[in-house]
Each structure stands twice: as structure tokens, then as C-alpha cells.
A and B are shown apart, each in its own frame.
Chain A
Amino acid sequence: MSDLVRQAQAGDSDAFATLYHAHVGRVHAVCLRLAGDAHAAADLTQDVFVRAWEALPTFRGESALGSWLHRLAVNVFLGNRRTTGRREKRVFVLAEPAVMERAQEGGGGPGLGMDLEAAIAGLPERARLVFVLHDVEGYQHAEIAEMAGIATGTSKAQLFRARRLLREALQR
């Protein structure tokens, strides 16, 4: 465990600020793709780091801090989702690329990358959740099912649904 983490655990907010700047891009990326909306992602990212500050004393360094933050972001998103009881029935439309944030790292060409980000944001909520967690973030169906409170069959079906919808969107 780094000295910076220990300092933040002891209450040093400047140390925590340094950790924030080092990890915010990765955390925000998962928040953005899960929320599918830039404003919601900003709020969610704030919630994640506030929760991280509160929970940091329990961090034992068994995993990398980035992995811990990443898992926390997913849990905060799912917790907020349950608490607010939002059940969006999103009509699948291709979201405007302008609502997506500038990527820190390029890859796959700006055109295709922005189209895919917008297409992911336009997925129905549950399909987007499973797709982001499985295909983008690398979680297994059993983990997704446990975290999201769904059956593994549902996770699998929603993943294939998401892939089909994305394929159709990108072919337009």
C-alpha cells in the first residue's frame, strides 16, 4: 500500500486529492458508460469518490486501489439505481456524439469510437448495464448477476441483446 493511500486513510485530504486525480479518468469512464449520460456520470463520479473517502479506512491493499475504486463505482451505481427506483425504458436511439466526453486515450479511430460510445449510451438500461460490465469491464455473468440482483440467464440474454443492438446501430 502506498504512502499516499495511508495518508489519505489517516485523513489527509490533499493526499486523497492526488489519488482522485490519478484515478478519476478510469472511474469516470465506467460511470459514464453505466449511466449513459454525461451529467449523471459526473454526479455518480462525485458520489463514488465521496464514498471512497468514507470507506478508505477499510481498504487493506489486497487489491490495487484502482480495482477497488472500480468495483466501488459499480456498486455505487447499482445502489443508486435501487434507491431511486429508476426504471428507464429507453427507446433505442443513437445518442448525439456531443454528449459524450472527450476521450483521454484514442483508439480505433475517433469516428468509430464516438459512434460506439453513443451507441452504448443509447442501449436500454439493463442491456447497457450488462454489456458495460461484461464486454467493456470484464466481469463474469455470475458476478454481474450477484451485483445486479438478476439471474445469470438474464445477464446472458441482455448481453446478446446489447451486442445485436450495437451491431445494428453501427451498421446504419
Chain B
Amino acid sequence: MTCPGLRARFDDYVAGRLSDIEARALEAHLEGCAECEAFLESQAWPIDAVRSLPRAVAPREDLWPAIGSRLSPRESAHRRRVAVPRWALAAAAVLLVAVSSGVTAVLIRRSAVPSVVQPSGSLEAQYAAASEELTAALEKARARLAPETFASIQRSLGIIDAALDESRRALARDPVNEGLQLLVAAAWRQKVDLLRRATGLGAES
């Protein structure tokens, strides 16, 4: 997208009238165009009102009773916590990111022969349902996990989710790309596998 193009289409972007492709093109242009950024920055907006927003806002009711009931005691001799080397949980996620980013780029550039592997919608729905169920199970098992282990699991899930988002966005732009379909499926498998293993860790203690 060019500078005149951005300025002509920005109203449509604000209103949400651009297609995904047009919106991404506008955003990509803004990433590298200081002039357009300065142009948009120069437009008036209620900056003084924002600066006067209160820094703190009290909740309507005291949340402490609910919070206090959810706090797990610090590790004691009566409860064995499961601590797992972080690399064991993060290795699969890091590998996926390293592979998927490069593979996604290659698959986007390659002229894929249109083909249908499997309806991605049904497969995704299955993985999403499994992921949701396991996430709920992990939440229940959290009290039995060492805090640093749980934190590591969450970070790994974040990495996988980022890879999954990237692959899905690419697939949305090229839905018949078989390689991208496989990549999305692989990311989902990684996520479900990690959740399954993490949930199993919580059950072991």
C-alpha cells in the first residue's frame, strides 16, 4: 500500500470496512513508513482526557475473600511438588516455533498445487475442543504443580499459541495450501500434547 493509499483508506480501516488482506497491507505499510505514522500522529484526539484518567479504580466489591480461598499453601513437607526441568517442557514448543516460522515463510512463497488434505474446520474444531478440556483439567491440577513448573508450562503454551496464530493467519490467506494445513494441525497436536503431559504431571503428585 502506498502513502496516498493509506491516507485514502484509513477511514475505512477505522470503520472495519477493509478486507483482511487490505487491513494487513495498511498495517504493514505503517510499520515502515515514518511519514504516514507522523501524519496519523498529528491528528487531534482527546489526549488531555486520557492523561487525567484515574490510575487506580477500586473493584465494586472486596475480591480478597475469593482470592484468599484460591491461594495454595507454600510447599510443605506434607505435599510433594512436581518440578520438571524447564527444557523438557519448552523444547517441543521452541522447536515448533523455529520450524514453523521458517516453514510458514517457505510455504507462503511456494506456489502450492491446490489440493484438499482434510477439511481443516472439522480438524481444528476437534483440537480446539480437546485443548479446552485439557486446559480446564490443568487449571484444576495447578495446585499440585510447583509454581515455576506451571509458569514454564504457561510460557510454552504461549509460544505454541503464537506459532499456531501465525500458521492460521497464513492458512487464512492461502486456504488450499496443503503444507500450511499440516502446519496448523501440527501446532494443534503440540498444544494438546503439552497440555496432556502437563495435566499428567499434576496427577502424579
Contact = CB atoms under 8 A, between A and B. Distances in A.
Interface of A: 10-11, 13, 16-17, 20-21, 24-26, 28-29, 32, 38, 41-42, 45-46, 49-50, 53-55, 57-58, 79, 82-83, 85, 101-108, 112-113, 116-117, 124, 135-136, 149, 151-154, 156-157, 160-161, 163-167, 170
On chain B, which size bracket covers the interface? 35 or more
Nearest to B146: A54
Nearest to A153: B31
A50 B157 contact: no
Contacts of B40: 156, 160
Interface of B: 10, 13-14, 16, 23, 26-32, 37, 40-41, 43-50, 52-61, 63-64, 66-68, 70-74, 128, 135, 142, 147-148, 150-151, 154, 157-158, 161-162, 165
Contacts of B165: 149
B46 A170 contact: yes
Contacts of B23: 157
Is chain A's interface secondary structure helix, strand, loop, or mixed overall?
helix
A81 to B, nearest CB: 10
Given A116-B50, A165-B14, A167-B45, 6 more contacts: A13-B71, A26-B56, A29-B56, A50-B67, A50-B71, A136-B50
Given A10-B74, A17-B68, A102 B31 contact: no
B32 A163 contact: no
Given A13-B68, A20-B64, A85-B128, A104 B57 contact: yes
Contacts of B43: 160, 163-164
A15 to B, nearest CB: 12
Given A54-B72, A82-B158, A157-B27, A103 B60 contact: no
A14 to B, nearest CB: 10
Contacts of A152: 31
A9 to B, nearest CB: 9
A28 B56 contact: yes
Given A83-B157, A167-B45, A154 B27 contact: yes
A45 to B, nearest CB: 6
Given A25-B56, A103-B57, A82 B161 contact: yes
12 contacts: A24-B59, A25-B55, A25-B56, A26-B56, A42-B60, A42-B61, A54-B151, A57-B74, A79-B157, A101-B59, A117-B53, A160-B10
A61 B128 CA distance: 39
B54 A103 contact: yes
B67 A156 contact: no
Given A17-B64, A102-B58, A103-B54, A116 B30 contact: no
A149 B29 contact: no
